Amino acid sequence: MVFVETSRIALLNLAAFQPAFQETLTIQLNGIVLLLIFMVIGGGIGFQRGVRAILTIALMSVIAYIVAARGGEDLINAINRFYVNGPKLVAFAMGRDPAVVPPLDPLISGDVQVPLFFRVVLFIGLIALASFFNAKPGWYSKTPAKDEPLAPALGAFTGALAALIWVSAAEIFWSDYVANGGTLGGPVANILNILPDIGIFIPSLITIFFLLLIAIVVFYLPKVWNKP
């Protein structure tokens, strides 16, 4: 009887500590914290490998984001803008008054929408293609060169930018999927539901990225196309 009573007390004590133990292991993540985690991972990989090692993937990520994630809206708007104002530009180049030249109708209708499934497959396919051909361009280097002290810092920025682009693309795809009546449960859906909408910042970050690339080409042109 003593042994039975002792065992019962031990079980009661364990049951009393169980809720507190479970609360200690509870971790709450919001969208901003999750985004920072992805940025740190991407920036850490870029810092370790250098900008040359991930430049191809970053460039293709930008292209995939514009063409697939954004549904080509920015590209269509740019094409229509140049096409509509084309006659005015030609008139200006010929020394005529652009104001008297009528604009053209948009070349591509704004109602054109690419199916979500095709956009997701296209985005993943472009990233996979960039990963496959990552080591082919002349600028590729597996590790940062000793004579390029800025390579790790630029790699960190490029890696963090790629992570931001991928997160923004995932948020866009998920929002479109839910808006079209799609449902999904489980931890994947929980993560996608808390991703922040950072699409408004991506164009500015992409612009900064290309300005940095232009600066690198201008100041380090003899080294860009040669492996260290």
Residues 171 and 79 in one domain: no
Residues 133 and 190 in one domain: yes
- Residue 67 pLDDT > 60: yes
- Position with higher pLDDT, 10 vs 101: 101
Residues 85 and 197 in one domain: no
**pLDDT for position 109:** 66
pLDDT band at 63 (very low <50, low <70, confident <90, very high): very high
149 in a domain, yes or no?
yes
**pLDDT for position 126:** 93
3-class DSSP state for residue 104? coil
Q: Are 54 and 159 in contact (CB under 8 A)?
A: yes
Residues 123 and 159 in one domain: yes
Q: Which domain holds residue 199?
A: 31-68+114-228
- Whole-prediction pTM: 0.70
Residues 177 and 86 in one domain: no
Instruction: Indicate the number of domains in the chain.
Output: 2
Residues 96 and 132 in one domain: no
Residues 146 and 207 in one domain: yes
pLDDT band at 143 (very low <50, low <70, confident <90, very high): confident
